[in-house]
Amino acid sequence: MNETGTTSILLVGVGGQGIVLASSLLATVCLAAGHEVKQSEVHGMAQRGGSVSSHVRFGICVHSPTIPRGEADYLVGFELLETGRWLDYLAPAGTVLTSTQRLDPLPVASGAAVYPADLSERIRARAAAARLLDALEIARQAGSGRAANMVMLGGLARHLPFAEAAWRAAIAERVPPKTLETNWKAFVAGRDA
């Protein structure tokens, strides 16, 4: 939180990981708690596994939907390389929560580039606080690997001042009823990891 009372959260990953849904749920919970909320998303080549980022800012008075470099209170990465790419946005005392999932971008998959071997160490060196979760495995244990985004959202929720009931209501409103229990189980597992 900065001096104006604004909390800035940057969610990053690649297309298909549920970042847009996670940021929408976060914004819904913030609004339900009475905060002013601004949200901005960049999809890029999301349908082809490209980079996706979503800025969510909430507080008493939020002036801009985008987070300036060096001012994200939380960087939530759904894919390890994308987390590394966005570290410059983290505030000096910011927190990183990242999945250890690795999705090779096209240059790596084609052999034109190498996936960095030291990303976990770089993330830990840069962040005042860093948590690395095997979100995909946690989601699988909850019932579906597709719920890894809920694992990450649950991991973030433990740092935010919102009631469990608000999270459950937001998730129930946005996911298909037949997947609610699996998504909720993944959320709780991420929160408790």
The answer to the question of residue 111 being in a domain is no
pLDDT digit string (tens) for 125-154? 999 899 999 999 999 999 999 999 999 999
Residue 24 has pLDDT above 80, yes or no: yes
Which domain range does residue 49 map to? 7-106+117-192
Q: What pLDDT is recorded for position 43? A: 63
pLDDT digit string (tens) for 89-139? 999 999 999 999 999 888 888 999 999 999 999 999 999 899 999 999 999
This prediction's pTM? 0.94
CATH of the domain at 32: 3.40.920.10
How far CA 59 is from CA of 7, 11, 75, 148, in Å, comes to 6, 17, 17, 27
Q: What pLDDT is recorded for position 107? A: 85
Domain count, the chain: 1
The answer to the question of residue 2 being in a domain is no
Judged on CB neighbours under 10 Å (0-12, 13-18, 19+), 179 is: middle
Spatial neighbors of 140 by CB under 8 A, at least 6 apart, are none
**Quick one: tokens of 20?**
């847009």
The answer to the question of residue 60 being in a domain is yes
The answer to the question of residue 30 being in a domain is yes
Q: What pLDDT is recorded for position 161? A: 95
8 Å CB contact between 132 and 98: yes
The answer to the question of residue 112 being in a domain is no
Q: How far apart are CA 166 and CA 152, in angstroms?
A: 17
Q: Report the percent of the chain where pLDDT is more than 90.
A: 85
Q: CA triplet 89, 131, 149: central angle to 5 degrees?
A: 80
Task: Report H helices in 33-134.
Answer: 80-85, 106-109, 119-126
**Quick one: tokens of 16?**
């298909």
